[in-house]
């Protein structure tokens, strides 16, 4: 499982730039560049901090990453095989505003 750093701090699963979701789905089956990928698991944090505290789980350093970006050199049968990845998207309000910055075209 890759180690994941995520700058999309507007996501409900983001805990100090780690992800608490447990697994994520990266999209971009026709992507040729990193900015054509997205974290499909992004959910915008809305409302006050009380409602966000309902999301439990650790901010885990490693995470299961399923990935549709088949042109990426790290894509191994729709699983990410990179040792670490970086999801970018500070100030994102939807998944299209995030991306896997580790994408490298084969
Ligand atoms: S590094 Fe490549 S295979 Fe891994 S999540 Fe990012 S785009 Fe998908």
For residue 39, the tally of other CB atoms under 10 A from its CB is 30
> Which segments of 1-106 are extended strands (E)?
3-6, 14-15, 18-19, 23-27, 38-39, 64-67, 75-76, 79-80, 84-88, 99-100
pLDDT value of residue 56: 57
Nearest to 82 by CA among 59, 99, 58, 65: 65
- Domain membership of residue 28 (yes or no) is yes
- Domain membership of residue 19 (yes or no) is yes
Count the domains in the chain.
Answer: 1
Backbone angles phi, psi at 15, to 5 degrees: -125, 105
pLDDT digit string, tens, across residues 48-77: 554 454 455 666 788 899 999 999 999 999
CA of 72 to the centre of ligand 1 (A): 6
pLDDT value of residue 60: 72
Ligand 1 pocket test: which of 82, 86, 105 has the largest number of ligand atoms within 8 Å of its C-beta? Answer: 82
Tell me which residue range forms the domain holding 96: 3-100
- Domain membership of residue 106 (yes or no) is no
Q: Which residues of the chain have pLDDT under 70?
A: 48-59
- pTM here is 0.88
């Amino acid at each position: 499982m890759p180690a994941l750093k995520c700058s999309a701090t507007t996501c409900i699963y983001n805990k100090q730039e780690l992800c608490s979701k447990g697994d994520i789905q990266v999209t971009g089956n026709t992507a040729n560049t990193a900015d054509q990928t997205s974290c499909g698991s992004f959910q915008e944090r809305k409302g006050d901090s009380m409602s966000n505290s309902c999301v439990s789980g650790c901010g885990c350093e490693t995470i299961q990453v399923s990935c549709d970006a088949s042109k990426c050199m790290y894509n191994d049968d729709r699983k990410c095989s990179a040792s670490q990845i970086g999801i970018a998207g500070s100030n994102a309000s939807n998944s299209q505003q995030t991306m896997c910055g580790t994408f490298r075209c084969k």
